[in-house]
């Protein structure tokens, strides 16, 4: 299998350019969709895709082309093919969340995110692989097999949005959608060398997305550049009456202006001290230090910042998230969605047997931990303590942001692991999340931008901003792309 170039392939122009070419008649939506479908067919060995939505995609492309021919406005994303993680309810085939328990389930309605993209003329061409129910960091917990890393296929693409991220790295579509509950957009983006964005909690509606942990779940766009990610966010962001956690948006997230002019937006950037300790591979640390040095040379003030509670964030996350998972997965009872054990005698047996067969070991582990930490005898010792710690962490992060505009550090402690390296050791797998989960617990926005390589594999720089400073963060990330060598 070939090793692709380190930092994303360039099968596609910038999204804004594609849209302008579609509008000017230089290329048609159907040509774009066919190109995407062909690339998907040719990249099957990476297992990035669970299903293609060919028939519906072609029909929609024809509609977009007809609109343009008749001089109508076909939208901000006219004709742009995209791929969504298979935990977004979407028409055109099954929605599986990569779990056996959802096999056979067809969504009766679409996620708000998909609806918004479609309303602007974007075309869903395929549904991407993930760890079942987004539980994991490598797609090795998928019931549909592991997604391989396009840069080195002996390694994982990361997870849980591994299929969405590998799709962009392989150039199957100009952008994709993932979800980030504890790092699932940023971690694979770091491992595969593309840009992955986790917006402020509530900025993008989660209506119609298979819930993992409702207090941290967010939807995030993945693309080749910060500019493309911002362009897609501009379509996704905003209030939705169907998701009561959604918040107001900025007028626009589209980035414009020259890079030099954005230097003033970051007066001071804090390198998180706890993120550069022994738990992080030396090579990864060096690449991230280099990135900070480049920012410094460009005129940004770099200071060291300590957030002591960050060391406990992983433990806190792996109490709070399983608690919410155990509740969110209770709806899969073998009666309402997807798989049902055919020969169960009593209703009670049908519940038990459908769940026993349908959920995989990692799903079950989380259900068991979650129900345990919520049970009456243990609630105070675990869940309540974790909730208190979460507040302490939020306070410390807010305090840090009184002194700096952004925080930076690595995304993950290592490069992409080899396939199978962590698969049998859940704790080792959880440790990959050590620098991404604090962000989700706080709800703040963060991005992974390629910043170099270690042992021939991509490494992402994580940039974190205060709540609702998404626009500023994207501007600064674009500025960083400009100073990156
Ligand atoms: N790897 C993390 C976990 O397994 C994050 C998952 C996610 O963001 N969906 O919980």
Summarize pLDDT for 345-395 with one digit per residue, the tens: 999 999 999 999 999 999 999 999 999 999 999 999 999 999 999 999 999
Q: What is the 155 CA–ligand 1 centroid distance (Å)?
A: 18
Tell me the average pLDDT across 139-165. 98
**425-467 tens-digit pLDDT:** 999 999 999 999 999 999 999 999 999 999 999 999 999 999 9
pLDDT value for 264: 59
In terms of Cα–Cα distance, which of 453, 436, 410 is closest to 8? 453
Mean pLDDT of 468-484: 96
Which is catalytic among the residues 8, 138, 160, 354?
160
Residue 392 Cα to ligand 1 midpoint, Å, equals 22
The Å distance, Cα 97 to ligand 1 centre, comes to 13
> Which residues does 101 contact at the CB level (< 8 Å), separation at least 6?
332, 334, 337, 338, 339, 354, 355, 357, 358, 359
Residue 222 bridge partners (DSSP): 176, 196
Q: What is the mean pLDDT of residues 79-88?
A: 98
Atom 4 in ligand 1: residue holding the nearest Cα: 136
Ligand 1: atom nearest CA of 318 is 10
The confidence score (pLDDT) of residue 485 equals 73
Give the pLDDT of residue 265: 65
Mutate which of 86, 135, 211, 435 for ligand 1? The one with the most ligand atoms within 8 Å of its CB, which is 135
Q: Which two tokens stand for residue 1?
A: 């299998």
Query: What pLDDT shows up at residue 110?
Result: 98
Q: Is the pLDDT of residue 258 over 80?
A: no
Nearest CA to ligand 1 atom 3: 136
Q: How far apart are the first and last CA of the chain?
A: 28
Calpha distance 305→147 (Å, rounded): 36
pLDDT tier at 9, thresholds 50, 70, 90: low
Name the least confident of 86-100, 259-273, 300-314, 453-467: 259-273
For position 1, what pLDDT does the model report?
37
User: Atom of ligand 1 at shortest distance to CA of 185?
Assistant: 8
Query: Residue 436 Cα, ligand 1 centroid: separation in angstroms?
Result: 9
Q: How far is the CA of 356 from the centre of ligand 1 (A)?
A: 22
Beta strands 446-454; 49-52: pairing state? unpaired
- Please identify which of the residues 35, 76, 85, 116 carries the catalytic annotation: 85
Nearest residue by C-alpha to atom 5 in ligand 1 = 182
Measured from the Cα of 432, ligand 1's closest atom is 1
- pTM reported for the whole predicted model: 0.97
Ligand 1: residue of 86, 88, 131, 324 to mutate (most ligand atoms within 8 A of CB) is: 131
pLDDT tens, position by position, 233-251: 999 999 999 999 999 999 9
10/481: higher pLDDT:
481
Mean pLDDT of 286-307: 97
**Residue 106 main-chain phi, psi, to 5 deg:** -115, 130
- C-alpha of residue 479 to centroid of ligand 1, in Å: 28
User: What average pLDDT does range 131-158 have in this prediction?
Assistant: 98
**Nearest ligand 1 atom, CA 213:** 9
Q: How remote is the CA of residue 379 from the centroid of ligand 1, in Å?
A: 23
Angle between helices 361-374 and 313-328 (to 10 degrees): 100
Percent of the chain residues past pLDDT 90, beyond the cut? 95
In CATH terms, the fold of domain 1-485 is Amidase signature (AS) enzymes (3.90.1300)
Tell which atom from ligand 1 comes closest to the C-alpha of 136: 4
pLDDT digits (tens, 9 = 90+) for 188-210: 999 999 999 999 999 999 999 99
* Atom number in ligand 1 closest to CA 135: 4
Please name the residues in contact with 484: beta carbons below 8 A apart, sequence gap of 6 or more: 291, 294, 449, 450, 451, 452
Q: Is 85 annotated in the active site?
A: yes
> Over 80: is that where the pLDDT of 266 sits?
no
User: Long-range contacts: 140-146, Cβ < 8 Å, 24+?
Assistant: 140/419, 140/420, 140/422, 140/423, 140/429, 141/360, 141/362, 141/363, 142/98, 143/96, 143/98, 143/99, 143/100, 143/360, 144/47, 144/50, 144/96, 144/98, 145/47, 146/47, 146/419
Q: pLDDT of 387-412, one tens digit each? A: 999 999 999 999 999 999 999 999 99
Q: Give ligand 1 pocket residues (Cβ under 6 A).
A: 134-137, 160, 179-184, 212, 321, 433
The answer to whether residue 43 is catalytic is no
Strand-pair category, 81-85 with 123-128 = parallel
> Which residue out of 99, 167, 184, 350 is catalytically annotated?
184
125 and 53 Cβ atoms separated by less than 8 Å:
yes
Name the least confident of 84-93, 147-156, 205-214, 249-258.
Answer: 249-258
Ligand 1 atom with minimal separation from the 137 CA: 1
Reference 284, options 458, 482, 150; nearest CA is 458
* Distance (Å) from CA 134 to ligand 1 centroid: 6
Whether 160 is catalytic is: yes
């Amino acid at each position: 299998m070939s090793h692709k170039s380190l930092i994303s392939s360039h099968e596609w122009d910038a999204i804004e350019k594609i849209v302008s070419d579609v509008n000017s008649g230089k290329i048609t939506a159907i040509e774009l969709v066919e190109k995407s479908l062909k690339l998907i067919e040719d990249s099957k060995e990476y297992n990035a895709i669970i299903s293609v939505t060919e028939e519906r995609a072609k029909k929609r492309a024809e509609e977009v082309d007809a609109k343009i021919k008749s001089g109508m406005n076909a939208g901000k994303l006219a004709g742009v093919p995209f791929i969504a993680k298979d935990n977004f309810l979407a028409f055109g085939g099954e929605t599986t969340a990569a779990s056996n328990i959802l096999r056979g389930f067809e969504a009766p309605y679409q996620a708000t995110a998909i609806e918004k993209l479609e309303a602007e003329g974007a075309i869903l061409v395929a549904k991407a692989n993930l760890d079942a129910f987004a539980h994991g960091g490598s797609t090795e917990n998928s019931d549909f097999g592991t997604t391989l890393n396009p840069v080195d296929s002996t390694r994982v693409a990361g997870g849980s949005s591994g299929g969405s991220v590998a799709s962009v790295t392989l150039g199957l579509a100009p952008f994709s959608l993932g979800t980030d509950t504890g790092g699932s957009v940023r971690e694979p983006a770091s491992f595969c060398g593309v840009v992955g964005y986790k917006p402020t909690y509530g900025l993008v509606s989660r209506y119609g997305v298979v819930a993992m942990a409702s207090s941290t779940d967010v939807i995030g766009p993945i693309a080749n550049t910060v500019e493309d990610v911002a362009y897609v966010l501009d379509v996704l962001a905003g209030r939705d009456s169907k998701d009561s956690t959604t918040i107001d948006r900025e007028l626009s997230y589209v980035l414009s202006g020259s890079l030099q002019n954005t230097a003033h937006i970051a007066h001071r950037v804090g390198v998180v001290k706890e993120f550069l300790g022994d738990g992080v591979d030396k090579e990864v640390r060096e690449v991230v230090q280099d990135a900070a040095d480049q920012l410094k040379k460009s005129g940004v003030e770099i200071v060291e910042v300590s957030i002591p509670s960050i060391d406990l964030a992983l433990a806190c996350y792996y109490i709070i998230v399983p608690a919410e998972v155990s509740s969110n997965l209770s709806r899969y009872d073998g009666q309402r969605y997807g798989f049902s054990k055919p020969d169960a005698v009593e209703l009670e047996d049908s519940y038990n047997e459908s769940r026993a067969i349908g959920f995989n070991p990692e799903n079950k582990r989380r259900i068991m931990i979650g129900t345990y930490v919520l049970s009456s005898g243990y609630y105070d010792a675990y869940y309540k303590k974790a909730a208190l710690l979460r507040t302490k962490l939020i306070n410390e992060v807010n305090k840090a942001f009184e002194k700096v505009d952004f925080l930076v550090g690595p995304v993950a402690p290592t490069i992409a692991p080899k396939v199978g390296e962590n698969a049998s050791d859940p704790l080792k797998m959880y440790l990959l999340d050590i620098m991404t989960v604090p962000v989700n617990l706080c709800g703040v926005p963060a991005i992974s931008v390629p910043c170099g390589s270690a042992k021939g594999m991509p490494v992402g720089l994580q940039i974190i901003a205060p709540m609702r400073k998404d626009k500023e963060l994207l501007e600064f990330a674009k500025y960083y792309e400009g100073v990156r060598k």
